Structure 1
Amino acid sequence: MAATLYTYPENWRAFKAQIAAQYSGARLKIASTSPAFTFGQSNRSPVFLSNFPLGKVPAYQGDDGFCLFESNAIAHYLSNDALRGSTPQASAQVLQWVSFADSEIIPPASAWVFPTLGIMQFNKQATEQAKEEVKRVLAVLNQHLNTRTFLVGERVSLADVTVVCSLLWLYKQVTEQFLAFNNFSILSESISVLLFKIVISLAKKFAEMQPKKETPAKKEKGSKEGEKKKEEKKATPAEEEMDECEAALASEPKAKDPFAHLPKSSFIMDEFKRKYSNEDTLTVALPYFWDHFDREGFSIWHSEYRFPEELTMSFMSCNLITGMFQRLDKLRKNAFASVILFGANNDSCITGIWVFRGQDLAFTLSDDWQIDYESYTWRKLDVDSEECKTMVKEYFAWEGEFKHVGKPFNQGKIFK
Structure 2
Amino acid sequence: MASIGTLYMTPVMASAKKIKAAAVLSGLSVDHPASYVHYEDNKKPEFLAKFASGKIPAFEDPEGFTLFEGTAIARYVAALAPNAGLLGHSLKESALIDQWISYYQTEILPNIRPIAGMLAHRLPYSKALETHYRELLPRPLGVLDKHLSTRTYLVGERITLADLEAGSALVMMYEQIIGKEQREQFPHVLRHYETIRNHPKLKDIWGPTEYIDVQKAYTPPAKTKEAKPAAPKAAAAPKKKDDADEEDEPLVPAEPKVKNPLDDLPKSNFNLEDWKRAYSNMDTRGSGGALEWFYEKFDPEGFSVWRVDFKYPEELTQVFMSSNQIGGFFNRLEGSRKYLFGSVGVLGAANDSKISGVFILRGQDHKAVVDCAPDWESYEFKKLDYAGADKEFFEAALAWDLELDGKKWADGKAVS
TM-score category (smaller protein)? 0.3 to 0.5
Return the TM-score normalized by structure 2: 0.46
Instruction: Point out the structure with the larger helix share.
Output: 1
